[in-house]
Amino acid sequence: MSTLNSEKLPRIGVLGGMGPLASAMFMVQLVEATPAAFDRDHFPHTLDSSPQIPDRPTAIAGRGPDPLVEIIEAIKRLEASGASLITMPCNTVHHWYDGIAASTSLPVLHIADAVAECIRSQLPAAKRVGVLGSTVTSKLLVYEKRLGDEWQWVFATDDELTQSVMPGIAAVKAGNLPLGREHFLQAVTNMIQRKVDVVVFACTEIPIVLKAEDVPVPTIDSSLALALHTVKVAQSMRVRKDEAA
Amino acid sequence: MSTLNSEKLPRIGVLGGMGPLASAMFMVQLVEATPAAFDRDHFPHTLDSSPQIPDRPTAIAGRGPDPLVEIIEAIKRLEASGASLITMPCNTVHHWYDGIAASTSLPVLHIADAVAECIRSQLPAAKRVGVLGSTVTSKLLVYEKRLGDEWQWVFATDDELTQSVMPGIAAVKAGNLPLGREHFLQAVTNMIQRKVDVVVFACTEIPIVLKAEDVPVPTIDSSLALALHTVKVAQSMRVRKDEAA
């Protein structure tokens, strides 16, 4: 991508902090996904990392405040920073997608759309898709609700969520990456036994510690998929600006 | 660090985009430098990555616009996001430090202070400090002006800047990390011949491709030093808030 100095590129707004390490690593993926020869070829972006947004699983369990109020405050800060679109490197928060999208006139990307694009292009024959994510993502069907029946969805069981996935997420958030890896390896081993064609790392904490080569079936990193999708959408907004000129 | 839900932590404002990959990797270092057991223990932060800020070496050479105008616009956006302090993971931009600090009532951290803290604590016997940085950082004495004569300063020569350091920075900014590494290895090899006790990676592009184990003398990563310093300052602001309560 080559940029004229006079061209104003769209600013990417990143709603982060859930968790902070996953958000920071997403920023690296976002930059690496951008074709650029110079600093100025990169899209400007603003990361609003707000780790004090109330805990999502606790809210769903009815034991804590609704996070949507503080999420919308963060969206307003991103709007004020000049953002042209919103992207959210956290799968669980997409349970609140409709409320978030309704709060702003900016386009809000959906991580499941990004993953779907990757599956269609990389694994067109895939039928059974394993979604390895948090209890909220799994039980409240964040992917199924967005993408319908294009694929057969496979999730972790209640026991696997309680004993492996959620402890793995907590370990990564606490900075204990080896423990997180151990839990996720157990969870992915169980999921593969249910004959999935692909495993989606549908929690942005997972690819921090688990790589494609750790898993004997194809995998999709939802964080990387979102980075690629975000750059693609930002580029399409740029083209429209060029055409308008 | 443990946090009450009701406690309002200071928000760290990060002036980024110079370059974007170095800024994104700084965010990872910032999160990793924070002692935290849960998301909510992390400081909220806003990264304003604005890669269209006019090129700094070009401005210094009198061949392009002064970057300070757009830098101050970015500082204003960080203020509007609720930032309590400003940190800048780019050494070169510190040439404009006084103008930046004068534009805001927020504390603006200085990357040379962060590096000085690391040298004093890790290498108290060091006398000759090699500052491996951009032409602006080297020739306009960003470190020497800030830190005075506590150490003997050693910089890359004009030839080394032209043939190794600046091409290395450009390569990393263009995403060509192997070429960047090759250039920086040459530059650091030359610098070590001048009997330095420590080499400061005084450009945030350098530690992306060069590690401590690549260099036979002690090194300081200015980006990591700034992350540690930023967390320390944010924690001190937090303590003051506690005492005020």
The pair of three-digit structure tokens given for residue A31, joined into one six-digit string: 């930059």
Chain A residues with CB under 8 Å of B234 CB are none
* Mutate which: A12, A39, A179, vs B, most B CBs within 10 A: A39
Q: How many CA atoms lie within 13 A of B119 on its CB side?
A: 28
Domains and CATH numbers, chain A: 11-110+225-244 (3.40.50.1860), 111-222 (3.40.50.1860)
- Element at B111 (helix H, strand E): helix B111-122
Report, as an integer, the average pLDDT of B54-80: 96
Q: Is A203 a catalytic residue?
A: yes
Query: Which tens digits make up the pLDDT trace of A164-179?
Result: 999 999 999 999 999 9
Query: Which tens digits make up the pLDDT trace of A9-46?
Result: 999 999 999 999 999 999 999 999 999 999 999 999 99
Listed residue (B11, B1, B15, B18) closest to B204, CA to CA: B18
Task: List C-alpha distances in Å: B158 to A2, A33, B96, B134, B200.
Answer: 30, 34, 22, 11, 18
Query: Which tens digits make up the pLDDT trace of A173-223?
Result: 999 999 999 999 999 999 999 999 999 999 999 999 999 999 999 999 999
Q: Give residue B2's pLDDT.
A: 52
Describe chain A by its helix, strand, coil percentages, rounded to 5. Answer: 55, 15, 35
Q: Does B47 touch chain A (CB under 8 A)?
A: yes
- Element at A26 (helix H, strand E): helix A20-32
The pair of three-digit structure tokens given for residue B172, joined into one six-digit string: 């990393």
Q: Does B173 touch chain A (CB under 8 A)?
A: yes
Backbone φ, ψ for residue B53 (5° rounding): -55, 130
Q: How far is A231 from chain B (nearest CA, A)?
A: 14
> ipTM score of the complex?
0.94
Closest Cβ opposite residue A47 in set B5, B27, B173: B27
Report, as an integer, the average pLDDT of B223-235: 98
CA B79, B85, B90, B93 dihedral sign is: positive
Average pLDDT, chain A: 94
Q: Does B30 touch chain A (CB under 8 A)?
A: yes
Question: What one-character-per-residue DSSP string does A139-199 give?
Answer: HTTHHHHHHTTSSEEEE--HHHIIIIIHHHHHHHHTT-HHHHHHHHHHHHHHHHTT--SEE
Q: Is A118 a catalytic residue?
A: no
